[in-house]
Amino acid sequence: MKTIITDFNYLAAKTLDEALDLLCKHKDDDYRIIAGGQSLNTAMKHRLLTPEYILDIKGVADLDYVRFDEKEGLKIGALATHRSVELSPVVREKYEVLREMEENVASIETRNWGTLMGDLCNADPAVDPAPPLIALDAEITVSAKGEERTVPAEEFAVDFFETVVQPGEMATEIRVPPLPPNTGVHFMKYSQIHGDYALASASVLITLDAAKEQCVNARIGLGGVGVTPIRAKKAEEVLKGKKITDEVLAEAARVASEETSPISGIEASADYKRELAGTLVRRVGKEALERARRA
């Protein structure tokens, strides 16, 4: 109902090259890229953002895909919507955790419009996809005219609503490696209302040895408990090389909550969120362990 009243110049690209050309040309201008528009429109209606240029990439061919191959794993294009990731058969089969995550992203209407990449680029600290992508050791491809680089998921966001993507660049693809054998991964977010922003979220990946006794690798991603999503590396160390018991999980949870630096808000205090992150790590870790044993 609120209207966008500031003028902007509208640019549209049909191919990735065109988009990268336009980005190169407007590198020094105040611009924003629009795909699904689920965050950008709201920010502009509230005049939090008043860009001079809007680059619409919705029509760019070949960026809307969810693909998988055994060697390279899962690839998600910049224009793949949350809903298409959620409904993808290969995601369901190979990366169940991403489907579980998507099911609780906002509402179906929002997931139909919003892209997973757009969500990452908006860089809300409570962004849902970040923790599982961190746990899955995903990488994000960032492209510019004539060049390309990849960034680990945990390094993608650098501050509150800020990413590594520089002027002239665009995030184009998410790559998730194939899961090693004997690996279980799980994600939970907690919000009082279904589909709401997380007060805290956690994703844990556990890989067990061949005997399914000892933890050989662990990765933990947390959301909503800092200025960016974070990887809880110290907590991962607590798990690695051990036979995971309830006591070990509780210790990892304690260490993980110490790694957080949440901000108090109207929904909950920083102390509550810190404790919540630990609780989630313990619960999610237990389920990830079960899954690793069944894998």
Partner 1 sequence: MSEYSIIGKPTPNVDGPAKVTGEARYTIDMTLPHMLYGKLLRSPYPHARILSIDTSAAEKLPGVKAVITGKDTPGGKWGLWRRFRELSDQQALATDKVRFIGDPVAAVAATTEEIAERALDLIEVDYEPLPAVFDPIEAIKDDAPMVHEDFPSNINATRHIEWGDVDAAFAKADYIREDRFVLEAAHPCAMEVHNSLASYDKGTGRLTVWTSTGSPYFVQQNLADALKMREGDIRVIKPHVGGHFGGKNSTMPDSVNAAILSMKTGRPVKIVFNRDEEFTTTEHRTAQHMALKLGLKKNGEIVAFEVKAMTNGGAYTGLGATTLYLTGTFITMPYKIPNYRYDGVRTYTNIVWGTSIRGFGSVPGKYCSETQLDRAAKDLGIDPLEIRRINAVAPGYTAPGQYTFESCGIQPCIEKMAVRVKEKWPKIEQDEGIGYCAFAYMTGGIFNWIDTPYAYSSAHIKVNWDGTVDLYSQAADVGQGHNTVAAMICAEELGIGLDDIRLHMGDTAHAYTDLGAWGSRETLMNGNAIKDAAAQVKQKLIDIARMKLGENIAYDFVARDKRVFLELRPERGVSYYDLVKDAIRHNDGVPLTGTGHYTPHNKGMISPAYAMGIMAIKAKVDRETGHVTAQDVLVVHDSGQIINPLGARGQTEGCIHMGLGYGLCEEMPMDQGMLLNPEFVDYKILRTRDMPEIEIMHVPTYEPNGPFGAKEAAEATIAPAAPSLANAIYQACGAEFFSNVLKPEKVLKAIRAKEAQNNATSQAKK
Site residues, partner 1 (CB under 8 A): 1-3, 5, 42, 107, 190, 192-197, 199, 266-269, 272, 276, 279
* Inter-residue contact 175 to 74 (CB < 8 Å): yes
**Choice between 46 and 243, CB closer to partner 1:** 46
* 87 vs 268 by CB, closer to partner 1: 268
Smallest distance from partner 1 to CB 28, Å: 28
Task: Supply the DSSP string of 170-206, one letter for each residue.
Answer: EEEEEEEPPPPTTEEEEEEEE-SSTTSPPSEEEEEEE
Smallest gap from Cβ 100 to partner 1, in A, equals 15
CB 123 within 8 A of CB 228: yes
CA distances from 63 to 81, 102, 173, 217 (A): 11, 19, 8, 33
The token duo for 233 is 């590396």
33: left (phi over 0), alpha (psi -120 to 50) or beta: beta
- Of 204, 221, 35, 58, residue with least CA distance to 128: 221
- The pair of structure tokens assigned to 255 is 């260490």
State the minimum distance, in angstroms, from the CB of residue 3 to partner 1: 6
Q: How far is the CB of 66 from partner 1 (least distance, A)?
A: 25
Instruction: Give the position of tokens 């020094």.
Output: 28
CA–CA distance, 249 with 168 (Å, rounded to integer): 44
- For residues 282, 288, 289 and 291, what is the CA-based torsion angle, rounded to 10 degrees? 150
Minimum CB–partner distance for residue 178 and partner 1 (Å): 33
Reference 260, options 248, 244, 242, 272; nearest CA is 272
* Residue nearer to partner 1 on the CB measure, 2 or 234: 2
Measured from the CB atom, the residue of 193 and 210 that comes closer to partner 1 is 193
- We find the least distance from the C-beta atom of residue 276 to partner 1, in angstroms, to be 6
What is the nearest approach in angstroms of partner 1 to the Cβ of residue 94? 26
Strands 31-34 and 53-56: parallel
Of 13 and 188, nearer to partner 1 (C-beta) is 188
Cβ distance to partner 1 smaller for residue 138 or 281: 281
Quick one: 57 or 199, whose CB is closer to partner 1? 199
